[in-house]
Structure 1
């Protein structure tokens, strides 16, 4: 299987500081980007090995669950950190543009379309997202095999920290219904269920389809690219970043996420603690309810 990853990357130390890409110190962003890129090769590339201590040899590992993959990082106007990350020159391909930084996600869409017919999965990630699940694409393939390509399963984004009120939080909870109502009808097939490894998993249509990423199989990518609104650069869903990552796929597919009780079934880490730090300050914690023996 062949996978294409496109990543929108931007860093300007003279920026406002509102986003991680606009702060003076590049170290956090450099670590985030390096971790994002390294995880893709480590989890899904074919260069994985098991150290045979007795034979003093490294032998291939995970070959039945590894893929041919390409990574294209889209940047703009020379504002990036690619020259500062400790990766070999053949690790990725660099696609430089001159668009406004907030519109880089749309440039990634153009790259994906230009590669139609060459890959089995077409993927987009913001540069501060990190995958940790080697079975991620196995799960996506399982989901679409059983539910059809008209449905798109999005991962739940989360943040982690040893400090603060809680160690882990998923950051893309429900939006107000009116925010996505004109783009999707969540009453259409509102819930799907499937059993995997003897565990029944629930998937819900979501009021917040945004994950800062998407992962489309070849048929889904071709379907989206055929739509008249593809690459129209519409920014009417929250803002340019959210629209580039989410609006087009929300218009094209029924978007699902694993329900809260199964949130970790498909997840992706948002590097940093921007949202997590709100808990205990602007966001209160609802205590976990423990069921009684009679309820179980």
Structure 2
């Protein structure tokens, strides 16, 4: 399988690195659905429970995407005598991208949306109104928009509406990986939820899935690729034991490949998982950073639903331990 191992000369001082000629264009499509009359369980996009949590999750999702944008030269406000100054080009952190431009698209159907949140971001995103009988088809509309867009972009991202990107180098890392592997592999981040336990603050929610099911699509394999990122740190990658992350990322060559081959609307768990995962899994192996390198690429699941399983399992464990103690 293709290796991401770079030549030794790839890790060089920032000043000697070849400068990129233009900013990277990141095109993002997010399907958004919220209905106050929806059920209280199931997909996060169809749940009505705790509206404030959905508001926070969507706000953080949109803010995280828009926060990825940056310029090589930016503006600084001098407040003593109000005027705009230039920051100059940064030397930290190490990067080879000449800035990032974000093009954000949100897809909605009918009135099933958090309108106040979308209004707060007006002017910073493009809202697409889609007429659908079934809201579970909204992800397809967002995905197909990315795949069929007439204009190219450097990176295409499909993102569920409760995922938060915190890493300012997220685009840098994905771009580095896809280029180093000649666009033959799909890279997914590790997805986590925040717990209420200071000693174990993160719960990674995409652990291994049933081997018999996964083997229909790919066979897990550790350390299929290694490479030294621009900051000098070595990272290894595994063919994922769970390829789902609630998103996908495609370079322009990968997008063109999928356009030519077509994508399925079903085939992996349910309609949302099919769009987020099988869109790419159908055509190329999905890898994630090895578990000991997991912090290389992360995304937060902000509308928490998996931590309830953690709490339940811990209670079961405590009850089992108590029962064993009573029998001794």
TM-score normalised according to structure 1 size: 0.85
Q: 1:40 aligns with which of 65, 81, 101?
A: 65
CA distance in 2, matches of 1:141, 1:272: 27
In structure 2, C-alpha distance between the alignment counterparts of 1:233 and 1:108, rounded to whole Å: 12
Asked if the contact 1:2–1:69 (Cα under 8 Å) also holds between the matched residues in 2, the reply is yes
Contact 2:147 2:258 in 1 (8 A): no
> 1:45–1:81: structure 2 CA closer, same or farther, 3 Å change rule?
farther
SS at match of 1:279: helix
Q: 1:266-277 maps to which residues of 2 (within 5 A)?
A: 266-277=297-308
Tell me how far apart the structure 2 counterparts of residues 116 and 122 of structure 1 sit (CA, whole Å): 13
Instruction: Confirm or deny: 8 A CA contact 2:68 2:171 kept in the other structure.
Output: no
- Work out whether 1:11 is the aligned partner of 2:34: yes
Separation in 1, partners of 2:85, 2:66 = 17
Q: Which residue of 1 aligns with 2:271?
A: 240
SS in 1 for 2:313: coil
Deviating more after overlay: 42-51 vs 189-198: 42-51
Shift of 1:198: 3.4
Task: Give 2:25's aligned residue.
Answer: 2
Q: Distance in 2 between matches of 1:215 and 1:6?
A: 11
> Match of 1:226, SS?
helix
Partner of 2:260: 226
Residue number among 77, 83, 93 corresponding to 2:126 in the alignment: 93
Partner of residue 80, structure 1: 113
Larger-gyration structure (1/2): 2
Q: 1:260 aligns with which of 279, 291, 313?
A: 291
Name the CA distance, whole Å, in 2 between partners of 1:60 and 1:131.
Answer: 27
Q: How does 1:135-154 map to 2 (within 5 A)?
A: 135-154=169-188
Query: How many residues end up aligned between the 2 structures?
Result: 281
CA pair 8-45 structure 1, distance change in 2 beyond 3 A: farther
Does the aligned pair in 2 maintain the 1:203–1:258 contact within 8 Å? yes
Deviation at 1:278, TM superposition (A): 2.4
Aligned partners of 1:155 and 1:258 also within 8 Å: yes
The 1:57/1:155 distance shift into structure 2, 3 A limit, reads: farther
1:109 maps to 143
**How far did residue 25 of structure 1 move?**
3.9
Deviation at 1:165, TM superposition (A): 6.6
Aligned CA distance change for structure 1 residues 211 and 88 (closer, same or farther; 3 Å): closer
Unaligned runs of 5+ in 2: 1-23, 91-96, 318-328
Question: 4+ residue stretches of structure 1 with deviation over 6 A?
Answer: none
Give ranges in structure 1 of 5+ residues lacking alignment: 286-296
